[in-house]
Amino acid sequence: MTADTHFEAVPALPLHTVLAHGEVQWAAAGAEVVVAQPAHAVAHVLDPASAVLWQCLDGASPLTEVIADIAEAFGVTAEQVAADCVPVLRSWLAAGIVHEGPADDQRATSPAPLERAWRRLVDPPDT
Amino acid sequence: MWPHVLTIAVGDTVVVVGTDDDPLAALLQPMRVPSDEHAPDTAARIDFGVELHPPRPAHRAAPRSLPTFQHGSRVIGRAGDVDALRDGVLRTLASLAVPVPAGQVRLTGLPLLHADGVELAPPAAATVAHRRLTTRARRPLYVSSVRVDPTTLLATIDAPLGAATDPLVVPLRTWWLDGDGVEAAQPATLGRLVALAAHRTVDPLRGPERHSMQLAALVQLVDRLPPAEGRFGT
């Protein structure tokens, strides 16, 4: 699980918030989930419990629904789940691996360029 | 500074190559694009520097520079074997136009060919002396990355740009993480090993979806062929 180093810096997280994955790449690795931020050359390993929470963030469901679903699946109260999950979600917000609101689909709806454009795809030198 | 600065197109990619090597410049000449027409900022920026004829030392005791192929400050190859470096440059350039097929992962590193297949050393191994590798019956290919199919455990090294040859497809025997690899204090779970290798994935055709596909392929690779324990070369 990611370190909760910026816990205090993150504002309160209302339970009606919708959280979506940020500009990250991620994949399930057994019961864990690996979340990589290529821009920062950082990768996080989420433990199995956090991995469940991560995979429930669909960018559309409010946290109340996500927490209720997890509570039902594990047979515990929503309050217990919220107490465990909200600090984790705050740390993810602080780490920039999730963001509030629906997923940004603007790129998918933007019109395709009419002309072929050269793309600079090679990383610039780091000198 | 460079005798030749060439802005070339490889697929949809524009790169700038600076070199002191006439034969390499001649090979790249047909791929040149007008730098001021499509990418005005590239003319003054060198992506790949290929110095194959460093100046001779002033005297016998002076340090001797080796021919070097690098991307920015990152060395991709440094060796006295100029042909091997030239080959690596052309293979690396060719790789920029080759997308990573679904289910495969492109990993940075130095492939070392030997009789049974290929080993993938960490990128930092590019600065290991060529002679030290060849005396261990390893032939380095000075490329920046290789494609790996985790289902077959075959590694693909792209054919040199402009050559009418097939890519090298060889069994991947082992590979190493960067630096000291896995820290002994931390349990080497599948997720942790993947996280340690995640920054080694590259894709010339970028996009978050493709990156996540590659990360899933990396998970499969680590599961089937975990990285070697310990540091490369020990």
Q: Which of B7, B199, B213 to mutate to test the interface with A (most CBs of A within 10 A)?
A: B199
The string of pLDDT tens digits covering residues B136-158 is 788 999 999 999 999 999 999 99
Is A2 a domain residue? no
User: Count of domains in chain A?
Assistant: 1
Give the type of residue at A115: E
In-domain check, residue A24: yes
pTM recorded for the entire structure = 0.81
pLDDT at residue B129, as a whole number: 78
- Residue A71's closest CA among A62, A63, A79? A79
Residue B231 falls within a domain, yes or no?
A: no
ipTM of the complex, rounded to two decimals:
0.78
Q: What angle do CA B200, B201, B206 make, to 5 degrees?
A: 140
Residue A37, domain member (yes or no): yes
Q: Which residue range forms the structural domain that includes residue A93?
A: 7-109
Using one digit for the tens of pLDDT, what is the confidence trace for A108-127? Answer: 444 444 444 444 445 555 54
Number of domains chain B is built from: 1
Residue B159 domain boundaries: 4-224
Look at A121 and B13 and tell me if their CB atoms are within 8 Å. Answer: yes
CB of A34 closer than 8 Å to CB of B219? yes
Strand B48-51, strand B13-19: pairing: parallel
Q: Looking at the domain assignment, is residue A89 inside a domain?
A: yes
Which chain A residues are Cβ-neighbours of B33 within 8 angstroms?
A: 118
- Whether A118 maps to a domain, the answer reads no
pLDDT digits (tens, 9 = 90+) for B43-67: 457 789 999 999 988 888 888 889 9
> Is B207's pLDDT higher than 70?
no
Chains A and B: how many Cβ contacts under 8 Å?
A: 103
Contact: B195, A24; criterion CB under 8 Å: no
* CATH code at position A77: 3.90.930
